[in-house]
Amino acid sequence: MRHGKIRSVRCGFFLRRGPVDMAEPLHIDIISVFPEAFKGFLSESIPARAARAGLVRVRTVDLRDFSDDRRRTVDDRPYGGGPGMLLKPEPWFRAVETVRRPHSRVILLGPAGRTFAQPVAQELAAERHIVLMCGHYEGFDERVRRLADEEISLGDFVLSGGEIAAAAIADAVIRLLPGALGGGAEASRLESFGEDGILEAPQYTRPPEYRGMRVPEALVSGDHARAADWRRRQAIDLTARRRPDLLERGGTYEA
């Protein structure tokens, strides 16, 4: 079988980034043994809209295309015994060496990595090319780690594969790209973990009263400065109650 060819581009949009930012789109390559898993996620909602707007280009790459046998084998039994199967090094080296460019940031997904959080998403949103390596079965042959610039974990739990982690990371990164959210830069600035790194204030929509629960007066008053002040105080108050650690991390949060 001939290598060096990416056959499984399931979702590729390569349009010019809009007037917000004329730079190249962020390019995300996701390498997986289950590239079909991304189909729904990539064709829906904000990731799909951002792709159509030319802000991001997401490709899924089938690891099996880089196997060297007819059965497209990518796994084998672990040396020394033990349960399950491990992903072999050869297909991973061929796949990553095919998609990697000099400016790429190659990320292996696994429980031993740095825990993913909004500051990591912000870092990644500033990259030009991200390669996400999704493990499966019992994980990777240890030598595969050599390919990665770093490892990222979604949290202290074990997933069956890196696909959910890759989808979560791609989504969190894509919504940070300028122009990805309907409300513009303001939208992600005011969100949880936004500009101040604190939680978002409670939000309401119509009706103004439902089952005796009224929308706070400051929000229906029509006074934008008063509404903004209310939101700010509520965000600080909510963060102090639920996530005081976020306030302790720094910044001045005058109520």
Q: From the CB of residue 255, how many other CB atoms can be counted at a distance below 10 Å?
A: 10
User: Which one of 7, 69, 157, 254 is in contact with ligand SAM (CB under 6 A)?
Assistant: 157
Q: What is the DSSP letter of 140?
A: B
Which of helix, strand or coil describes residue 172? helix
| Binding span for ligand SAM by CB under 6 A among 8-16, 67-75, 134-142, 199-207 | 134-142
In angstroms, the CA 198 to CA 249 distance is 10
Q: How far apart are CA 207 and CA 214, in angstroms?
A: 9
Q: Which of 41, 92, 140, 193 is in the footprint of ligand SAM by CB under 6 A?
A: 140
How many H helices and E strands in the chain? 9, 9
110 lines the binding site for ligand SAM (CB under 6 A): yes
**Full 3-state SS string of 46-87:** HHHHHHHCCCEEEEEEEHHHHCCCCCCCCEECCCCCCCCCEE
Angle between helix 163-174 and 118-125 (nearest 10): 70
139 binds ligand SAM (CB under 6 A): yes
The nearest distance, CB 41 to ligand SAM, in angstroms, is 16
In the complex with ligand SAM, the residue whose CB is nearer, 66 or 230, is 66
Residue 111 or 179: the one with the smaller Cβ distance to ligand SAM is 111
Residue closer to ligand SAM by CB (options 137, 253) is 137
- Work out how close the CB of 110 gets to ligand SAM at its nearest, in angstroms, rounded to a whole number: 4
Give the span between the Cα atoms of 150 and 58, in whole angstroms. Answer: 20
**Does residue 197 belong to the site contacting ligand SAM (CB under 6 A)?**
no
Count residues binding ligand SAM (CB under 6 A).
19
Q: Which of 12, 18, 82, 155 binds ligand SAM (CB under 6 A)?
A: 155
Q: How far is the CB of 96 from ligand SAM (least distance, A)?
A: 14
Residues engaged in binding ligand SAM (CB under 6 A) = 109-111, 134-136, 138-140, 153-155, 157-162, 165
